[in-house]
Structure 1
Amino acid sequence: MTSRSLIPAVVPAGRMAAMEQPVLGLPQGLELRPWRLSDAAALVAAGRDPGVRRWNRLSVESAEDARRRIVRMHERWRAEQSAIWAVARPDGEALGLIGWGDIDLAEGGAEIVYWLLPAARGNGVAASATKRISRWALTDLGLHRLRLCHSVANPASCRVAAKAGYSLEGTLRSALLHADGWHDEHLHALVQGDV
């Protein structure tokens, strides 16, 4: 018997896959919803946007590539590996992406990923979306620990983390390779009981 089998999974396998991915409201009149194949143009635009490319390793070559990525998002939800939403206007236009990558149900953790197109930047959307999906991950899904990592050269993400209630835990040295070289990263976390 392994020590892992003595400790029950934080979230039972199959729980997330049995859920429909919810639509979550945001205070700015926006919503978080599952990505649609019709959102391919937003992914292509993000792949070309210097602000997204600077901090994210996103490469989307074509609408066909974007549609494959969207299909993969839905497959990864069912496989309980990630939970990715579009940040969208009520009319359906996708303005950004936010969600959980590196989901580990057994250990109860995940790491947030997000980016916004220029039309959604600068008015608190990233912080409110981070708060909302964090509440979903901790309360509805039942995870225990959420991570937010970003380059130390990206103060905007540091502000998002603070506004969303994430505690700065330290600096990961030379942790992520960007186009301009290796970056140190800040590690922020939110755990059950913080909210």
Structure 2
Amino acid sequence: MEIPAVVPAGRMSALPQPVLSLPGGWLLRPWEPYDAPALVASGGDPDIQHWNRTGRFTEARAEERIARYRSNWETEKAAIWAVAPATGGPAVGLIGLADLDLAGGSGEILYWLLPAGRGSGIMVKATDRVSRWAFEDLGLHRLRITHSVANPASCAIALKAGFPLEGTMRGALLHADGWHDEHLHGRLRTDALG
């Protein structure tokens, strides 16, 4: 007996990538070429570089990455949004769904913020909003967040956004300073929403 796909191929790419409103004057929107300086800045930010494997960007390489974000939506590989002021202006962060398995109904949330967005609580709201979109509009069953056990800020975001800690994956990700154990957080479509 064949198990049907949780999310049929073509469902995501048939939709335009939505703009998602957030409380507090923020929104999630597709990345635009004028956001390239935010990617360049992420490559120079020590916190982003320590906890993420984003790499460094020239302006041209950042524009190529933004084009790839759009291509990944169309090929249903990932859904990446810019965290930006609702009044307009460049991105101050990134949030998205990567490692998408539409047939299996799962994906991984990833995120980072430049200093201009930190301390506002926006990433908790963004994580919850992307999760709701992934469950309600796209139809995924399970989302996960992984982060170094040495990154308590990311752990707090995951917990506040409704992703309980499920366990620790030993030596799961190589960072610049060596192998890190990673926390695994998960949220199901059937979990109670806050």
Q: What interval of TM-score do these two structures reach, taking the shorter chain for normalisation?
A: over 0.9
Structure 2 unaligned residues grouped into runs of 5+: none
Q: Find out whether 1:124 has 2:121 as its counterpart.
A: yes
Match of 2:109 in 1: 112
1:102 aligned residue = 99
- Match for 1:15: what amino acid? R
Q: Does 1:48 align with 2:41?
A: no
Give the unaligned 5+ runs of structure 1: none
Which residue of the other structure, out of 163, 172, 181, is the alignment partner of 2:169? 172
State yes or no: 1:59 paired with 2:61: no
Q: CA deviation at 1:91?
A: 1.6
**Count of aligned positions:** 191
1:71 corresponds to 2:71: no
Is 1:31 the counterpart of 2:27 in the alignment?
A: yes
Match of 2:18 in 1: 22
> What amino acid sits opposite 1:29 in the alignment?
G
Give the whole-Å Cα distance in 1 for the aligned partners of 2:53 and 2:134: 24
Among candidates 130, 133, 158, match of residue 130 of structure 2? 133
Q: Corresponding residue for 1:185? A: 182
What amino acid sits opposite 2:18 in the alignment? P
Displacement of 1:60: 2.7
Code of the aligned partner of 2:39: L
Amino acid at match of 1:63: E
Deviations 1:97-118 (A, max 9, x none): 0000001100000001100000
Give the match's secondary structure for 2:43: helix
TM-score computed with the length of structure 1 as normaliser: 0.96
Distance 1:28 1:96 in 2: 15
1:77-106, Cα deviation, whole Å (9 max, x unpaired): 000000000000122321000000001100
Which 4+ stretches in 1 moved above 3 angstroms?
A: none
TM-score of the superposition, structure 2-length normalised? 0.97
Q: Distance in 2 between matches of 1:61 and 1:124?
A: 27
Q: Residue 42 of structure 1: CA displacement?
A: 0.4
Kindly indicate whether the alpha-carbon contact (under 8 Å) linking 2:149 and 2:180 is maintained by their aligned counterparts in 1.
yes
In structure 2, C-alpha distance between the alignment counterparts of 1:155 and 1:30, rounded to whole Å: 24
CA-CA distance at 1:123 after TM superposition? 1.8
- Say yes or no: does 1:163 pair with 2:155: no
Letter in 1 for 2:134: A
- Alignment equivalent of 2:78, drawn from 58, 79, 82: 82
Distance of 2:119 and 2:7 partners within structure 1: 35
Rounded Cα–Cα distance in structure 1 between residues aligned with 2:20 and 2:152? 27
Report % sequence identity: 61
Counterpart secondary structure, 1:12 = coil
* Separation (CA, whole Å) in 2 of partners of 1:177 and 1:124: 28
Partner of 1:93: 90
Query: SS of the residue aligned with 1:44?
Result: helix
RMSD: 0.8
